[in-house]
Every structure is written in C-alpha cells, then in structure tokens.
Amino acid sequence: MTLRGLGASPPSSLFYSMNLINWYDAGFCDYDSALFFQQRLHAGVACGDLHDSVLFQENQPVITLGRDAKQSSLLWSAQRIADAGIILRQVERGGDATYHGPGILVISPILRFLDYASNVHLYLRMLEETVIRQCAAYGLHGFRKNGKSGVWLDDGKLSAVGVAVSRSATMHGLSLNVNPEWTHFSAIVPCGLVGEGVTSLATHGVYKTVKHARDDFLAALSEVFGAKLLPGTPVTQEKE
C-alpha cells in the first residue's frame, strides 16, 4: 500500500514565512486507512519534505481510546461493540474514549506547532478557538470548560480535542459533531466525562454537510493560525 502525492520538495523559507498549510481530505473511509494517510503526512512534515498539513476525514464507526482511557469509559462489551459494526482502536493521542462515525468531521492538523504556539497547551487552545470562531459564524456560543479540553455548547460537548506530538510535529487533533446518529455514543462515556452530554450542529439547527463544515473550519483555522490554506495533492490509496 502506497500513498501518492506526498513526494513534494522541501518548502522554501518563503513559504514558511507565509505559514502555508496544505489540506487533504480522505473522505468517508475506514479508520486504519485514514491513520495510514496521517502517518505518511506526519513523516513528511516532520522531516521537512512536506508543508504543514491538515487531514480531514469522515470515519466509518470507530471508538478510539487515548493514552488516558479508562476501562470504565467503555459501557458496551467488546463483543457488543463488534456486533454493532464498530471497530475499537488504541491510539497515541491524549484523552479518553471518543466515538467517530458518519456525520462527524475528524480533523488532524499535522503541524510544526512551535511555529504557531509557544507550547502544546497554547496549541490546544488555538484548536479550540478555531471551533469557537466557527460556531460564532453560525450564531452559536461555543465555550471552554476549566480543566477540560474541547468545545461545548449549552447542552453538551460539540468538539473533542486530543493530540500527540512526535519529532516536533503534531498528530490527531479534534472532531466536530456535524450531524451524527447518536446510537453508538451510548457505547462510551465520551472523553471519560461522566454526566456530560454531547451535542451537534444539527441539534442547534445548523444543517451542514461534513464537507461544508470542513470548509468553514478551514476559514476559521486560517484566521486563528495566521496561515494560508491550500489544497494538497489528493490523498489516494494504492495497493501494491
């Protein structure tokens, strides 16, 4: 299996000064394929062969367990999860259990984060600010909660945030509930937050496709990170 379109020459210092970020969209895909794409992008960004990048995807049903995941965050048995057509994956990002599936935009910024923020905590706040500004463009009041990562609306958590850093470049990132089907959320305690609900844009009357939500996120990201966003060569998968 190889990934096309990732063999660009190293970016020049001119492009670095412009904070150029290329974005890619893996579309509706299985989690393992999307992770493969992300790992290839990360390798290119970390060694300087690629510009900073953002990977978008809409996953087939998957529960991911971050470094801080607790067994109590899984409310269904492994067999029930499998019978429901959900895959279960341990991942290297921070945070607890999250569910991704149809109607949820998954966003993986692969950035040399110190070009944008002085530390990883500030970088996380910048990701949250991007979602908060996107919400404001829809007339919604998104906000943070003290001591918790992510973005909330008044009836629950809209966006989960969790990142990993390797070789000074980030992986993973955040999800945005656009218009998901809620049944599978009952399999977990989202982000390990007992008593916290989850919500979506559609719940608040904002009916967007995942693609439109992606474009709106890109606009907010450009503003918060002071970056120019350009589409990269389409991410395609080829079997050897």
Give the active site residues: 191
Angle value at C-alpha 23, between 3 and 139, nearest 5 degrees: 145
**Coil, strand or helix: which one is 49?**
coil
Query: What's the CA gap between 182 and 170, in Å, rounded?
Result: 29
With 0-12 / 13-18 / 19 or more C-beta atoms within 10 angstroms meaning exposed / middle / buried, residue 144 is middle
Output b/e per residue, 56-90; b: 16+ Cβ within 10 A.
Answer: bbbbbbbbbbbeebeeebbebeeeebeeeebebee
Return the structure tokens found at 177: 């509930």
Task: Report which of 85, 71, 67 is spatially closest to residue 171, judged by C-alpha positions.
Answer: 67
